[in-house]
Amino acid sequence: VPRGKSSKVNPRRRQRAEARRKDGLLTTGDMARLSQNTLRTVRFYEEEGLVSPGQRTSGGHRLFTLHELKKLLLITDLRAAGLTLEEIREMLRAKDRARTGAAASREVVTRIGTQLELMTTRVSLLRRLITELESTKKHLEECMDCNDLRRFSNGCKDCSRLRDDGSFPDALGVLWGVEA
């Protein structure tokens, strides 16, 4: 159980998460909750010039527009997809730095194209790994009721369960130390 984060459901807090301020602006906490980030991350992205609170309350609390929330949601997705903050920043600023619509769109199209290739590669790697781990899991599920202590102490070397299958995933060889 993680400390510091009460699991008690606080009804007032629940309301806050769903309710909007009357002026339609969002606090740092709203931004964090709605984008599944921490407060620290929202503030860090502001320091890095990625999002910006249009204004602050007299007490110093940040207030963001809905547009900044949408930007934060995109940043969050792009980070999860593997882009660095620098790459994200360049993408977000590309339009404003360009002098013409043609230059702006070409710049953004190029950047998106590059990232799409990288993302496709990442999906392929993930799919390959998922297949491999699923196969490894299936093999090991056959051993979940194994009581052969003698064979296990011997590293499962002479166990037919781990040998009779021709398509033996590499990951299983590594995890079970079959050739060590």
Q: Which residues of this protein are in contact with DNA, per CB under 7 A?
A: 4, 10, 12-13, 16, 21, 27-30, 32, 38-41, 43-45, 48, 57-62, 79, 84-86
Task: Identify the CA nearest to 68 among candidates 97, 109, 107, 35.
Answer: 35
**Residues in binding contact with a copy of itself, number by CB under 8 A:** 61
29 binds, among a copy of itself, DNA, none (CB under 5 to 8 A by kind): DNA
By CB under 8 A, residue 112 contacts a copy of itself? yes
- The answer to whether residues 98 and 107 touch, using CB atoms and an 8 Å cutoff, is yes
162 binds, among a copy of itself, DNA, none (CB under 5 to 8 A by kind): none
> Interaction with a copy of itself in 9-28: which residues (CB under 8 A)?
none
Q: Phi and psi at residue 111, in whole multiples of 5°?
A: -65, -45
Coil vs helix vs strand at 163: coil
Q: What one-character DSSP code corresponds to residue 59?
A: T
CA 111/CA 88 separation, integer angstroms: 10
- Judged by CB under 8 A, the residue of 120, 157, 158, 163 near a copy of itself is 120
